[in-house]
Structure formats: C-alpha cells, structure tokens
Chain A
C-alpha cells in the first residue's frame, strides 16, 4: 500500500516535470498589434551592474517617450517591452528568446559585452537586430577567430582599441609622458580591454609601463595599490574603469600626494565624479568620451534638460546617453527601411550614414561599429574642458 502511494507520487513528479516544460507552449508569441512596434529592452536591472542597466533604460525610455509624443515611427507607436537579465549572460539569452516570442522587431541592450554575447545567438537564429548601447569589446560584432561579421548585432559606442589608443596618443604626445602606470578595473572586460590597447600604443610610442595594477568592481579602498604606484613615480596614470570606482580612486590618489596627470575613459562620464572626488582633486585629469555633457550644442542641452526633467534632476551619464542614442539609431533605421520587418531594419542599420546622435555624428562601418569622433575632456575646477576632438 505504502509503495503504491509512493509510485503515484513518483508519477506526479514526472508529470509536473513534463508539464512545467510544456506549460504555456501555446502561450508564446502573443498577438502583435498592428499599430504598435514592439521593441525589446533586455537590460541589467538586478545583479552586479544593475546601475548601468537602469541608467541606460532611463535614457531609452526618454527617447521612446519623445518619439511617441511626436507621433511615433511610420505612424505607429513604439511599445517597449522591458525585461531584466540579472547581469548574467545565460539569463540574457533566455530573456532574448522570451522577447522574440513576444514579437519584437529589434532588441536594445544588454549593457556589458558578455551579456550581449549571451543574447547574440538568439538574435542570430531568429534574424532580429540587436543594438548594443555600451558593449565595447571588439568581438561583440565580429568573430575574432573567423573574421565573420555578426549580421544582426550593432552598437552605438566606441570599441576598446579606439579609446585606448586615443588616450595613449594623448599621453605620449600632448602630455609627453614617458613612464605610465595602469590601474584598471580588472573585473570587467572593459577595463582589461582598454588597458591592453593603451599599453600597446603607449609602448609603441616609446613609453614604458612601470606597473600594471587592478581593482575589482565594488572596491572603495585603493590606498595600498596607490602607495605602491606612488613608489614607481609615474608621470601618467591610466585608469580604465567606471566612475563608481574611479572617483574615490582619484580622490585617494590626490590626498596621498600623487600629482601626476590621470587619464580615463567614457566610463568616467558622470556628475558623481566631481561630487565624490571634488573639483580640486580632479584637476589635471583627462578622459576620452563621445561628447561632453556640458557641451553647449543645442541637441545635447535639450537632451540633458529633458533627462533631468523626467528623472528628478538627475544628470545623465554615458549609459543614459548611449541608451538614448541606441533608440534613435533604431528609429532612424526603421524610417530608412520604411518597414518594421526585422530583416529590413537590419539592412538599414548596416547602411546608416551621418546619423546625428547625442554622442556624436556616426556612420555604421562594415563591422557594425559606429565611426564617430572622440573627444578628450579635461576636468578643470569641476568643469569639463574639451582638449581635443579626434576624427578616426
């Protein structure tokens, strides 16, 4: 008797198993309304890089709101479907498949290169374009082994070699640095990728890298490594990473009496830099960026104002600006294609020329990277001064 009830239970488990697999099989692919264009937003809203994903999503939603208010695209409203990928590549893949089932015409996000790569195979299998706001690794759009282009993957941000090289040239030419120290975000491919290209160019220019150090995301105490770097007495320090770590790092370096110029990347772009590191400590620091949020260009001013108005006076950071541009680029492609078919949008994305975004005027090249100008910005008494503008 006992055994029989056990067997029943065993069957029950098996049934649950099968059911949970098959459940809702018919539920996928909800009907798409003709008046709406479904755009998938697959971003990191929880997990380690939740703040990047949230900021970028805010930028995207601002753009979508503005576009819809102005009558939408091809007479249809954009319908954003937001899902969270938990800052994990496997989850990003699952979310993409989920979004595909809901009938999206394109996906925006995720933010980090690894999570975009998680999503990539689903986009490729289904022939739906993905516009990445901030995935900077080279192999996001190109398979480095075979040289094949990822047909459906696009981005609006710089790639690592461009920014790394830019800062290395600036350091050796404009600042005449000979001995540089690198202190990178070693927990992200972004930090490591930039450090690599900086090192290559800087050494090719005859400079020496005196020491290579790393921190991990979430670190707030950098004094041990800075004490070591100080001992090497470098005339330039390169800090590829994000503002959350870069700001306290620079503060501690200056408080410790390190006066050498410090260089950084577009990850530094945030009003928190001045708030945390203080204006005085930031003097003699430089970073590469797409644009300056303190630019007087009317388009940029309008964006910053609108963003602040929508989000309680918060300043947009580079993630927000890139998210905004990702939407605008997609809309441009839909308009160019005059169609909401994913294939047509993909073809249009690949041939976009002179698109004027917040982060600069860009043309998508054959490797699906935007060709756009980079700027080098100097912090001066808390303000941003554009030092140089470099066309690639």
Chain B
C-alpha cells in the first residue's frame, strides 16, 4: 500500500519534471532567450536522440548489427515531404506516412536479411541503406542528387518533444514487456531461446520494424526542420554516426543512448569553431572513450531503470 502510494508520488513528480522541461524550453524559445543557433542544435539533438534510441532497440537490445539506419531515415524524410510539400497534406499526415513507409521498408528488408548472422547481416543492411540512397539519387520526381528544396519548417519544439517522448516511451515499454524479454533472450543466446520455443526471427523482425519506424519519424522531423533533403545526406557515414552514439552510450541502455546523442550533438557543435582539427578531435574522442569505457558510458544499465520504467508505463 505504502509502496503503491510512493509509486504514484514519484510518477507525478516525474511527469512534472517532463512538463517543466517542455515549458521552460518552450518559454525560452518564444521569449527569444534561445537564439537560432541553440534552437537548431536543440532540434539536431532531439532528432539524434530518436535515431539513437531506435537503433539501440535493434543493435543494443536485439543484438543485431544494423548498418543501414540512415536508409530508413531517408525513407521517412522523403515520404513525409512527398505528403506535405508535394501533395499538400498536413504535417501530421506526413509524420504518419513517414512512420508507415519506414516501417514497411524495415519489414521488407528485415524479413529476408534477419536470417543472416553477425557481419553478414551488417553488410546486408549496409547494402540496403546504400541501395535506398542510390535509387533516390536516380528518381527525377524527387530531383535526384539535388534533392528537395524549400521544405516548410513545420517541425517545432512541441513536435520534437512529443516525438522524442513517444519514441522513448514505446521503446522502453516494448523492452520491458514480454516481447522485450523475448527480444533480449535472442540477444543473449539465440539458440537457447529458440529451444525455449521463441520464434526468434519474428521477434527480430518486430524490433527491426519498430527501429526503422522511429528512424523514419526522425527523418520526417529532420526534413521539416532543415529546409532541404538530398540523398547524399543519408549515406553510410550517417549510419555510422548513429551507431557511434549507440555504442558510446552503451548497447542496450536507453538512457545511455539519450546521453550519448546529447553528448555527440554538443561535441559536434562545439567543434565547429575548430575547423582545422575538428574531425581529429572527434575521432580521438571516440577512440579514447572506447578505450576507457568499452562498454559505453552507461554499459547496459539504465539510470533508475525502475523509475523510468514506471514513468513510461512499463511493468516492473
């Protein structure tokens, strides 16, 4: 009884914290306290968080090395822009279409390739990501390599915050559900879980589709914030960037992915002012962090797993 009451108290507390963050940032934006530079980096940060958390579902929790996340981001970005800019539907329709298209792409790619193991899966997903990019480069209806220009800026802080919350909520819930336990068992020992009667392929596909869907969402938010999308932006190096965030944060730790995405975004922004040695510093950071924290910043632990789980509706 006592326990339950405390749960509700902390639940309320954490909702308040989230609401406070949202309101403070919203106020800072409307009152002009946050200049454009910080707003842009805030948007990048949130988009990176969504990408990292969703890839972490595939790479971290399911243990399937995917190197094609930028491809799904591209699918989402293009699908949403076709809906809003070309066909004139409202933004929400664009977002939904982005999720749908990316999830479908995830399903089409996941079903055949997830039978592959380890590095063979990595290469297949990488190849698919590149195929998506090259195909986009050759479709004249979306302007080929020049990309689509003049996308209205519909991505605002409420959308960003909502999408980020939704992503984390769904991923945490999924991981803490019975599906999640099955997914994690696949990572820990695929053969053993198969023997336990778990249909490993279908769980892998499930995680893959969810991961792809949120990458698509991130792509849609990206497209409607940065004015232009072109295929080259979504090449395999972009996939590597996302992977870096996931591993830096700690495979299988959602909070880790969030922290690492924030860290990488801030690092990238700070290094803008050191053009000559920017990438050298970035590379050294990766190497040094990995040498001293090979399990990532968070390992596979969560920050207050229980409280987070409860906030975002998971079981204990």
Note whether A and B form a binding pair. yes
Residues of A within 8 A of B (CB): 3, 5-7, 9-14, 16-18, 20-22, 24-25, 28-29, 45-46, 48, 82-84, 86, 88-91, 93-95, 97-98, 100-101, 113-114, 117-118, 120-122, 125-126, 137, 139, 143, 145, 186-189, 191-193
User: Chain A residue with minimal CB distance to B25?
Assistant: A21
**CB contact between B21 and one of A5, A18, A45, A191 (< 8 Å): that residue:** A18
A143, B143: Cα distance in complex, Å: 14
Question: A117–B149 contact, CB under 8 A?
Answer: yes
Question: B233–A90 contact, CB under 8 A?
Answer: yes
A126, B146: Cα distance in complex, Å: 25
Question: A95–B272 contact, CB under 8 A?
Answer: yes
Q: How far is the CB of A53 from chain B (nearest CB, A)?
A: 9
As a 0/1 sequence over residues 210 to 227 of chain B, the CB contacts with chain A under 8 angstroms (1 = contact) are 000000000000100011
Q: How far is the CB of B6 from chain A (nearest CB, A)?
A: 9
**CB contact between B137 and one of A84, A89, A93, A186 (< 8 Å): that residue:** A186
In order of increasing CB-CB distance, the 3 nearest A-B pairs are: A6-B304, A189-B146, A84-B275
A330, B152: Cα distance in complex, Å: 29
**CB contact between B228 and one of A13, A18, A89 (< 8 Å): that residue:** A89
Take A9-B303, A89-B227, A93-B40 as given contacts and tell me if A45 and B276 are in contact as well, using a CB distance cutoff of 8 Å. Answer: yes
**CB contact between A10 and one of B44, B145, B269, B308 (< 8 Å): that residue:** B308
A187, B235: Cα distance in complex, Å: 12
Q: Which of B27-35, B57-65, B91-99, B198-206 contacts A (4 or more CB under 8 A)?
A: B27-35
Take A11-B17, A84-B272, A97-B36 as given contacts and tell me if A118 and B226 are in contact as well, using a CB distance cutoff of 8 Å. Answer: yes
Decide yes or no whether B24 CB sits under 8 A from chain A.
yes
Question: A114–B35 contact, CB under 8 A?
Answer: no
Enumerate chain A residues within 8 angstroms of B17, measured Cβ to Cβ.
11, 14
Take A94-B269, A98-B272, A189-B147 as given contacts and tell me if A126 and B230 are in contact as well, using a CB distance cutoff of 8 Å. Answer: no
Question: A94–B37 contact, CB under 8 A?
Answer: yes
A143, B149: Cα distance in complex, Å: 9
A93, B228: Cα distance in complex, Å: 10
**CB contact between A83 and one of B25, B33, B266, B275 (< 8 Å): that residue:** B275
Enumerate chain A residues within 8 angstroms of B230, measured Cβ to Cβ.
89, 114, 189
Interface size on B, residues (CB 8 A): 55
Enumerate chain B residues within 8 angstroms of A5, measured Cβ to Cβ.
304
Question: A90–B145 contact, CB under 8 A?
Answer: no
Q: How far is the CB of A50 from chain B (nearest CB, A)?
A: 9
Decide yes or no whether B207 CB sits under 8 A from chain A.
no
A191, B145: Cα distance in complex, Å: 9
Enumerate chain A residues within 8 angstroms of B44, measured Cβ to Cβ.
90, 94
Q: List 26 A-B contacts (CB under 8 A).
A: A3-B304, A6-B303, A7-B10, A9-B303, A11-B17, A12-B303, A13-B303, A16-B259, A17-B258, A18-B24, A22-B38, A28-B35, A46-B278, A89-B226, A89-B233, A90-B44, A90-B226, A91-B268, A94-B40, A98-B37, A113-B146, A114-B232, A187-B137, A188-B145, A189-B143, A192-B146
As a 0/1 sequence over residues 253 to 272 of chain B, the CB contacts with chain A under 8 angstroms (1 = contact) are 00100110010001011001
The SS class assigned to the A binding surface is helix
A121, B45: Cα distance in complex, Å: 19
CB under 8 Å from chain A, chain B span 86-110: none
A9, B301: Cα distance in complex, Å: 12
Enumerate chain A residues within 8 angstroms of B10, measured Cβ to Cβ.
7
User: Chain B residue with minimal CB distance to A115?
Assistant: B228
A20, B44: Cα distance in complex, Å: 13
Enumerate chain B residues within 8 angstroms of A113, measured Cβ to Cβ.
146
Decide yes or no whether B41 CB sits under 8 A from chain A.
yes
Q: How far is the CB of B21 from chain A (nearest CB, A)?
A: 6
**CB contact between A3 and one of B21, B42, B222, B307 (< 8 Å): that residue:** B307
Enumerate chain A residues within 8 angstroms of B259, measured Cβ to Cβ.
13, 16
Residue among B44, B143, B226, B232 facing the most chain A CB atoms (10 A cut-off): B232
Residue among B14, B226, B233 facing the most chain A CB atoms (10 A cut-off): B226
Q: How far is the CB of B147 from chain A (nearest CB, A)?
A: 6
Q: How far is the CB of A89 from chain B (nearest CB, A)?
A: 5
User: Chain A residue with minimal CB distance to B42?
Assistant: A21
Residue among B21, B222, B255, B275 facing the most chain A CB atoms (10 A cut-off): B275
Enumerate chain A residues within 8 angstroms of B37, measured Cβ to Cβ.
28, 94, 97-98, 100-101
Question: B228–A117 contact, CB under 8 A?
Answer: yes
A186, B45: Cα distance in complex, Å: 32
**CB contact between B226 and one of A25, A93, A100 (< 8 Å): that residue:** A93
Decide yes or no whether B12 CB sits under 8 A from chain A.
no
Question: A189–B35 contact, CB under 8 A?
Answer: no
Take A90-B222, A117-B228 as given contacts and tell me if A7 and B146 are in contact as well, using a CB distance cutoff of 8 Å. Answer: no
Decide yes or no whether B305 CB sits under 8 A from chain A.
yes
Take A7-B304, A89-B226, A187-B232 as given contacts and tell me if A143 and B150 are in contact as well, using a CB distance cutoff of 8 Å. Answer: yes
Take A13-B303, A14-B21, A83-B272 as given contacts and tell me if A114 and B147 are in contact as well, using a CB distance cutoff of 8 Å. Answer: yes
User: Chain B residue with minimal CB distance to A187?
Assistant: B145
Question: B145–A189 contact, CB under 8 A?
Answer: yes
As a 0/1 sequence over residues 266 to 292 of chain B, the CB contacts with chain A under 8 angstroms (1 = contact) are 101100110110110000000000000
Enumerate chain B residues within 8 angstroms of A13, measured Cβ to Cβ.
255, 258-259, 303
User: Chain B residue with minimal CB distance to A2?
Assistant: B306
Q: How far is the CB of B70 from chain A (nearest CB, A)?
A: 12
User: Chain B residue with minimal CB distance to A125?
Assistant: B36
As a 0/1 sequence over residues 4 to 18 of chain B, the CB contacts with chain A under 8 angstroms (1 = contact) are 000000100010010
Decide yes or no whether B314 CB sits under 8 A from chain A.
no
Question: A189–B258 contact, CB under 8 A?
Answer: no
Decide yes or no whether B144 CB sits under 8 A from chain A.
yes
Question: B36–A122 contact, CB under 8 A?
Answer: yes
Enumerate chain A residues within 8 angstroms of B268, measured Cβ to Cβ.
91
A91, B279: Cα distance in complex, Å: 14
